[in-house]
Amino acid sequence: MERIKTDLCIIGAGSAGLSLAAGAVQMGARVVLVEGHKMGGDCLNYGCVPSKALIAAAAQAQAMREGAAYGVAPVEPDIDYAAVMTHVARAIATIAPHDSVERFEGLGVRVIQDWGRFTSERELEAGDHLIRARRFVIATGSRPLVPPIPGLDTVPYLTNETLFDLRERPEHLVVIGGGPIGMEMAQAHARLGSKVTVIEGATALGREDPELAAPVLARARAEGVEIVEGAKVTAVAGQAGAIRVETEAGAHEGSHLLVAVGRTPALDKLNLDAAGVETTKAGVKVGADLRATNRRVYAIGDAAGGMQFTHLAGYHASVVIRSILLGLPAKARTDHIPRVTYTAPELAQIGPTEDEARAEHGDKLTVVRFDFAANDRAIATGQTAGAIKVMVVGGKPVGAGIVGAEAGELIGLWALALAKGLSMADISAMVAPYPTLGEVNKRAAGAYFSPKLFENPWVKRGVRLVQRLLP
């Protein structure tokens, strides 16, 4: 067995691990990266990249159906599902070299392609390698949560890890779970010609602001997605091509079943007890500094048990690198982390929703909004369905929610505002190019100041007085 001594051993070559490895080795640290499956992790191979590639193909198909409003005769697209999945695979293959073993070895990282397990508080075994490191970082990500539904172990079902292997379009896709993944894949498949039923035990997109989620659900339903809410699944039965999902409210049948009820941290192979690392149901037990109960061990990304986003994983990497390499205190925060559901329209949120903000701030909260229907670019492009809501306390935004075209791009400004403590006056001072959807953000800031300027009688009196005094 080869014995390796290193400064930093990173377990997991997904977004979090790769970001940390690249940064640490280029700053002069000796880095060992252990990955037992695919470089790039879930985001590249099963999550962000393939799902957005599929959504893009579905958007092209839908555009062909919706040309009438622009004077273009609508047609029903002829969809080659296998070719769509080839497009998905091509997107993955294009990005893969950036996450490859060859690239990271070229940077100076020692990459070991095997599963890792702790043998002590300071050592990790991976294949025929025993790694002793000054610091370990657990970046193993998460995997689809498979709920204990009676019968599920006897029928074929899909998760995000197997969905993109399909080459024949599902005739009728039944989706268990009405969260972001479930709704994204439901709408995409409906646009690609499948019949789709979503079964949600509570409320679809229930984590989001109800007012902003409503247009997303309405659009999906208008495009043919059946969304059944308040229907807890009690059993599953059937076989390939004929699957039956029983709920408390009735039964639903389809040709394919997609389970999209959430994710669970991938920690089971690590033998964390040997390392003295405590866990919870959510993931590794960490403090604000992302350190585990073994002070030589950190956890980042999905493994850390918090929000599960690729961009959060990259942020975590930037936090721990300060502590590990420079010995500087560093703590992770979450108030400036946005989230996006890539449906049509898109739905983006940062910070608390309106209800959450009211519960926290009470009468100190001001909520301002601006509708896409009053944005000239949205009018010109026929994308007027949407709105922005900004939660403001003491002149500073504490949260923002957007539903509409390019919401995922528009939320970036509010991510900057919350990260840097910008005020609504700062946003209002921005000059946005015309005509752009980006003006929605500036107009929302303007809506905060409008009552103070245009509805205040003292302002009017002051202006009249100045006008009388001016030569």
Element (DSSP H or E) covering residue 150 = none
Q: How far is 210 from 206, CA to CA, in rounded Å?
A: 7
Sign of CA dihedral 269, 275, 281, 286: negative
Angstrom distance (rounded) from CA 40 to CA 218 = 35
Q: Where in the chain is the domain with CATH 3.50.50.60?
A: 2-39+100-143+264-326, 152-261
Structure tokens at 188: 């995409």
Which string of DSSP letters, residue by residue, matches 231-285? --EEEEEEETTEEEEEETTEEEEESEEEE-S-EEE--TTS-HHHHT--B-SSSB-
Give the model's pLDDT for residue 249: 86
Residues 459, 461: Cα–Cα separation, whole Å: 5
Q: What is the mean pLDDT of each run of 10 residues along the chain (471 residues)?
A: 96 96 97 96 94 98 96 97 98 96 97 97 96 97 95 96 97 98 98 98 97 98 98 96 95 97 96 97 96 98 94 95 93 95 98 97 97 98 97 97 98 98 96 96 91 67 76 77
| pLDDT at res. 156 | 97
CATH number of 2-39+100-143+264-326: 3.50.50.60
Q: Distances in Å between the alpha carbon of 387 and those of 206, 216, 375, 417?
A: 18, 12, 10, 19
Residues of the chain with CATH 3.30.390.30: 338-454
Residue 372's alpha-carbon distances to 214, 342, 368, 388, 450, in angstroms, are: 15, 18, 14, 8, 18
Element (H, E) at 2: strand 2-11
Tokens of 358: 């009211």
Cα three-residue angle 336-339-341, rounded to 5 degrees? 165
Q: Specify the CATH architecture of the domain 152-261.
A: 3-Layer(bba) Sandwich (3.50)
CA dist list (Å): 101 to 39, 124, 177: 7, 20, 35
Write down the pLDDT at residue 453: 58
Cβ neighbours, 10 Å, residue 296? 17
Three-state DSSP class for residue 360? helix
Question: Which CATH homologous superfamily contains domain 338-454?
Answer: FAD/NAD-linked reductase, C-terminal dimerisation domain (3.30.390.30)
Using DSSP's 3-state secondary structure scheme, residue 388 falls into strand
Residue 459's pLDDT is 65
